[in-house]
A = this chain, B = another copy of it.
Amino acid sequence: MRSSQLPLFTSKNDPADAQVASHRLLVRAGYIRKQASGLYTYLPFGDIVHRKIEQIIREEMDRFGAIEVSLPIITPAELWQESGRWDIMGKEMMRFFDRHEVAYALGPTHEEAMTDLARSFLQSYRQLPVNLYQIGRKYRDEIRPRYGLIRCREFTMKDAYSFHADEASLEETYQKMRECYRAIFERCGLKTIPVEADSGTMGGSSSEEFMVASAIGEEVLLLCSDAQCGYRANQEKTPYVGEPAEPIAEPPAMEDFDTGELKTVEQVAALTGKSPRDFIKAVVLEDAQKVVVCFIPGDRELSEAKVKNLTGLLDFAPAGAETIRALTGAEPGFTGPVGLKFADGETLNSKTVHVLFDRHLAGRTGLIAGANRTGFHKKNVTPGRDFVIKNSADIVAARAGDLCPKCRQSKLTETRGIEVGHIFKLGKKYAEKMGLTVLDASGKHLVPTMGCYGIGVGRTLATAVEQNHDERGIIWHPNLAPFWVYLISLAREEKERSMCEELYHKLKQAGVSVYLDERDERAGVKFHDAELVGFPFIVTVGKRAVESGKLELTLRRSGEKLLLETDELITQIRKMAEAKAP
């Protein structure tokens, strides 16, 4: 391809909103352009890379026995209502009405649509297992779209859904998909970390995320420091293993004490000289239906993910001051478990109140908590004696330094990651709710169990850039590069021009994809752009090449420069590109 046919779309300025390398470089190097918040256009080079990733995914999914189909992107509300997710999906799901006032969603995922398809053709267990996938656009109305392709509102996803007669069959496909995902990311030159993950609103029993480690990752991963143990999980999913409560003699009776303007655990701990661990911290969340009051140890943070899974909170936020006043009879900052005006299950402003205690509070004694009285806290608070723990669960966020929940010997370490793939065991939830059954060998109805498997295509592209760039630009893996060779013509004389043309054609004939920069620009400008767009090989043809008969080959990743004759150059490039180690 020639620059006269396919121009560069490079840009001189960084996008104003770029906080991360992939966003900045993909825009500057002319791979993508922002249309609106969270909406990106793929420019020609970006479109080529995107299709290369799609093709890698397609080939590997096919190789592992999945079958490609293509569903409508928009999905009737009816299907979401059958599964019960129409109300659960919240504002992240974009919705609209057609001319007949029928409601639809712009599919953020397709469990319902795929289960609907499956029930239209599955009749017998003999048709199982079957694993159907598609590669198509998805929509999520993110509160804060950011990081370019990493968190946007319209994106391409490969989503697969498998149907099975039993758990063993699901397990087999689940393991195949793990293998398939490893193969896909390896072909993309991406280093991923598989971690145990939270299933969120998907439901289901177990799930695993494929994470790309990155300082800008929005996911926190906790890894056991003992490689032998090998525990790796998303923080949202990691159980918190606290230290056991020390047995202490029965403390004196509770009493209120004046804390004036001091509200936070840290402030009151400083006042009393007590450790934050000896506090009961209150966190109150609310959505349109619920007020959820959470009590956790004073030295920990609440895991909103765990609370969301337990309570089904939707589009929630910290409770407003009005709600806190109604709940406690006091100003915000003095909420405690003793003397709340509303008990678990009661109704406050037509919202149901849920009161949750972290399981580590049970057995503790002599704690400090808010007194539900403005300007006061209580001391010597003892769960079980002073208040009843009705609902107890793990609602604290695990963190680095905690005991590993698997080996219970080593400590957890933390790293940040970007999710590029996710595999789930969904179980029978969708099949049951949507009435998908098949006949088993004895002619009885059997509800299939399901798995689902997603990969974000644009996010894979962006994280490939996050992992592979330097201060000069992108460094593509040959499998993803729009072209292998960036051929810089510095030709001024006819001889140089014809040498360049000859090389261009020879490379093409040898099956080496090549982009010829034949713009009327200085050598420096062209080399700068070549490094920015990041094809693995840069070749320069000018006066010197004609004189010496040798061409300058620059390896983009290492910066190494080689002087080679034409045939040798082609052989070398082919060898290196095919070995995928430029």
Using a CB–CB cutoff of 8 Å, the interface residues on chain A facing chain B are 5-7, 9, 33, 35-36, 39-44, 46-48, 50, 65, 67-76, 78, 91, 94-96, 98-99, 106, 113, 116-117, 120-121, 127, 130, 134, 136-137, 139, 141, 143, 153-154
If the complex has contacts A98-B94, A137-B137, are A35 and B70 also in contact, measured as CB distance less than 8 A?
no
Decide if A33 touches B70 in the complex (CB within 8 Å): no
Decide if B41 touches A71 in the complex (CB within 8 Å): yes
Decide if B69 touches A43 in the complex (CB within 8 Å): yes
Decide if B7 touches A72 in the complex (CB within 8 Å): no
Decide if A47 touches B69 in the complex (CB within 8 Å): yes
* Assembly stoichiometry (copies): 2
Residues from chain B with Cβ under 8 Å of A40 in the complex: 72
What's the nearest-Cβ distance from chain B to residue A540, in Å? 24
Decide if A41 touches B69 in the complex (CB within 8 Å): yes
Decide if A99 touches B143 in the complex (CB within 8 Å): yes
25 A-B contact pairs sorted by A residue (CB < 8 Å): A5-B65, A5-B67, A7-B127, A33-B117, A33-B120, A36-B72, A39-B74, A40-B72, A41-B69, A41-B71, A41-B72, A41-B117, A42-B70, A47-B134, A48-B68, A72-B154, A73-B137, A73-B154, A74-B106, A95-B96, A98-B153, A99-B143, A106-B106, A136-B137, A137-B137
Candidates B41, B69, B75, B153; contact of A44 at CB < 8 Å: B69
If the complex has contacts A41-B69, A42-B69, A96-B106, are A9 and B121 also in contact, measured as CB distance less than 8 A?
yes
Residues from chain B with Cβ under 8 Å of A7 in the complex: 127, 130
Residues from chain B with Cβ under 8 Å of A98 in the complex: 94, 141, 153
Besides the known contacts A5-B67, A33-B117, A91-B99, 7 further A-B residue pairs in the complex with CB atoms under 8 A apart: A35-B76, A41-B113, A44-B68, A96-B106, A98-B141, A98-B153, A136-B137
CA distance A116 to B36 in the complex (A): 11
What's the nearest-Cβ distance from chain B to residue A288, in Å? 14
CA distance A130 to B96 in the complex (A): 35
If the complex has contacts A99-B141, A137-B137, are A47 and B68 also in contact, measured as CB distance less than 8 A?
yes
Closest chain B residue to A156, Cβ basis: B70
Decide if A35 touches B96 in the complex (CB within 8 Å): no
Residues from chain B with Cβ under 8 Å of A35 in the complex: 71-72, 75-76, 113, 116-117
Residues from chain B with Cβ under 8 Å of A48 in the complex: 68
CA distance A95 to B134 in the complex (A): 25
**Closest 5 pairs between A and B when the two form their complex, measured CB to CB:** A96-B96, A42-B70, A39-B72, A91-B99, A36-B76
CA distance A2 to B38 in the complex (A): 42
Residues from chain B with Cβ under 8 Å of A95 in the complex: 96
Closest chain B residue to A105, Cβ basis: B96
Residues from chain B with Cβ under 8 Å of A117 in the complex: 33, 35, 41
What's the nearest-Cβ distance from chain B to residue A313, in Å? 17
Decide if A94 touches B91 in the complex (CB within 8 Å): no
Candidates B6, B75, B139; contact of A74 at CB < 8 Å: B139
What's the nearest-Cβ distance from chain B to residue A500, in Å? 21
Candidates B70, B91, B113; contact of A50 at CB < 8 Å: B70
CA distance A355 to B403 in the complex (A): 83
Closest chain B residue to A116, Cβ basis: B35
